[in-house]
Structure 1
């Protein structure tokens, strides 16, 4: 992919994995606020969390969530039936990828974790 705006700092990280802990509204909120704080990313609002239970396919039920950052945002998607999650960190401020991976693995008790920077 060609960098169309090399003068704009952007760091993007996709993390996916299977979780082994209970995931509910509170743990989704704790993850979003916790990872932002852990990476020294400043928020300017509270997490927005949706759980459209019963409105779609059972296998897709879970959570869709986002926390706005001064320097962009973090999204989280959770599939409850499969115990699977995906999170995307998109920032205009550099952060330590290893710290993001370690925090995410610990928070979700991830049995498997994959990531990609882009």
Structure 2
């Protein structure tokens, strides 16, 4: 498929996305993911519709998701070839990306963290 010029098809609907990735200082478990996503709901001031759901892949590691009234967040954690995580926050309500990055950095005691609004 050829590249298509992206433009906002719904300018009256607020959408905000942030991808945060990093190297945690410990092995991430399903309990860490559930707690992180629950606390992320508070940091972003989102209303949780369902408690976080997690699943483990024997090849890669844990993944999780939380459903908010205004969208949600996905979390992915690799154990190999390197301990690494990636969080994708997508909402239809404004949130402070700096607060999300600071919370994530502190929660996972990261050695390196990067973030990109999309």
TM-score (norm 2): 0.90
The runs of at least 4 aligned residues of structure 1 exceeding 2 Å deviation read none
**2:38 aligned to which of 33, 49, 52:** 33
CA offsets per residue over residues 20-79 of structure 1, 9 Å max, x none?
0231111010110011112211111011100022xxxx4xx2111100000001000000
Larger strand proportion of the pair = 2
Note the 1:4-83 alignment, pairs <5 A.
4-53=9-58, 58=59, 61-81=60-80, 82-83=82-83
The root-mean-square deviation of aligned C-alpha atoms, in Å, is 1.0
Which runs of 5 or more residues in structure 1 are unaligned?
none
Q: Distance in 2 between matches of 1:5 and 1:38?
A: 26
Q: Distance in 2 between matches of 1:30 and 1:22?
A: 14
TM-score (norm 1): 0.90
